[in-house]
Amino acid sequence: MKKIVLSLALFVSITAVIAQNVPREMVALEIGTGTWCTYCPGASMGADDLLANGKFVAVVENHNGDGFANIYSNARNSMWAIPGYPTATFDGMLSVVGGSHTQSMYSNYLPKYNGSIGVESPVAMTMEVEQTDADYTVTVEMIKVGTITATNIVLYFFVTESHIQHNWQGQTHLNFVNRLMVPDQNGTTVSFAGGDVQTVELNFALDSSFPVENGEFVAMLQNKTPGQGVIPGSYPVNRWEVIQTVKKGVIDLTVDFEASATLIEKNTPVTFTNNTTGGYIGVPETYEWFFPGAEPDYSTDESPTVTYTQIGIFDVTLIVDRGGQIDTIVKTDLIQVDPPVGIDEQPGAIRASVYPNPSNGQFRVEIAT
């Protein structure tokens, strides 16, 4: 009997290690909206405020009945069976129907976010992007690390655009507008029956007029098994569980900086200008600088000024955290600090003699106090 109990305990332990869910990368926040909608500004502001407060959300705003609606946004709104505008869904499991003309829906959205981000996922997912001019190849790798009961799984890929200047309902811009889905609004079917690691490659082109600095890529793995019912509430919304979500800026986070001078004398101040580009849109950005040989030798300013008080050759390191996406650059041997050049000041009068005068091109200088 002891052997049986031990074997069972070992089996349970091994199974627990093998079937180990992973943290959720992003909460998928989809909003059914329209520029004609009186109460949709609150939904837009709520999404922006989640991001501004450092929440890990991938936002897709699906427009209806306006110039920003398309086959992709209409298909998503139909899938959710939007009961009214605005409607926000959180990982397909929670929803908020309704909004405000003037007030952010942040306080309504935050509990839904908190109830979603802590739900671990049975799939680890990554996204890699290769670009040649306007042509893109996106590779999404999905690794099943836990138990999945879904029998119909679909990978949806979105291209969103932000910072669109447009006057609507007292607002002046639009963010995270669903512009494109690849390969289309039906997504790509994914099955783990053939193995725990599945890879989907997506090839597409962006129009030359698309402002890549304002774009994001969102990859969402969703359970489309029929029979999931509706999300409970006064206005029911179709329930379609989101298994895992990742996102990237169309221009990925690229950390860089420049120095006002690199060959200096001791006790010389140097200003470092942050030139970081790309990454997630609408999120806070923090900085960590490391300056060996300088005072201060550490800074969290965006573009700090430090003074080099030690002689030598020094590296400079910058770490940028943009909404949870972190990148680092180390510029080795960037700053060379030399001893001061010149004549030290001496107390009292100084007498200098130069001879011969006139000279033939060679002369001597004598300095005496």
Q: Is residue 108 part of a domain?
A: yes
192 and 330 fall within a common domain = no
The pLDDT score that the predictor gives to residue 345 is 52
- DSSP per-residue string spanning 2-37: HHHHHHHHHHHHHHHHHS--B--S-EEEEEEE-TT-
206: CB partners within 8 A, 6+ apart: 134, 136, 159, 180, 212, 215, 250
The pLDDT score that the predictor gives to residue 11 is 38
Q: Omega before 183 cis (within 30°)?
A: yes
The pLDDT score that the predictor gives to residue 111 is 98
164 and 287 fall within a common domain = no
Among the three residues 215, 249, 283, which one is the final residue of a domain in this structure? 249
127 and 214 fall within a common domain = yes
Give how many domains the chain has, as a whole number: 2
Strand partners, 90: 29, 94
214 and 98 fall within a common domain = yes
pLDDT tens per residue across span 60-107: 999 999 999 999 999 999 999 999 999 999 999 999 999 999 999 999
Indicate the pTM of the whole model: 0.86
CA within 13 Å, CB half, 31: 29
pLDDT tens per residue across span 269-290: 999 999 999 999 999 999 999 9
Q: Is residue 267 part of a domain?
A: yes
The pLDDT score that the predictor gives to residue 44 is 99
Q: Average pLDDT for residues 169-183, to the nearest whole number? A: 99
220 and 311 fall within a common domain = no
Strand partners, 21: none
The pLDDT score that the predictor gives to residue 17 is 43
H-helix or E-strand spanning residue 72? helix 71-80
229 and 264 fall within a common domain = no
Q: Is residue 345 part of a domain?
A: no
Greatest alpha-carbon span in the chain: 113
Tell me the backbone φ, ψ of residue 11, rounded to 5 degrees. -60, -45
153 and 288 fall within a common domain = no
Q: Is residue 140 part of a domain?
A: yes
CA dihedral over 90, 221, 154, 161, signed as positive or negative: positive
pLDDT tens per residue across span 296-349: 999 999 999 999 999 999 999 999 999 999 999 999 999 999 998 765 555 555
Q: Is residue 296 part of a domain?
A: yes
> Is the pLDDT reported for residue 3 higher than 60?
no
Range of the domain at 306: 257-338
């671990």: which residue's tokens?
A: 120
CA distance 120 to 145: 11
By CB atoms closer than 10 A (0-12, 13-18, 19+), residue 302 is middle
245 and 261 fall within a common domain = no
264 and 150 fall within a common domain = no
Q: Average pLDDT for residues 31-47, to the nearest whole number? A: 99
Q: Is residue 75 part of a domain?
A: yes
Cα–Cα–Cα angle for 102, 106, 111, nearest 5°?
145
Among the three residues 249, 283, 318, which one is the final residue of a domain in this structure? 249
The pLDDT score that the predictor gives to residue 4 is 36
Q: Is residue 35 part of a domain?
A: yes
Q: Is residue 11 part of a domain?
A: no
**Do 196 and 144 touch, CB atoms closer than 8 A?**
yes
pLDDT tens per residue across span 189-245: 999 999 999 999 999 999 999 999 999 999 999 999 999 999 998 899 999 999 999
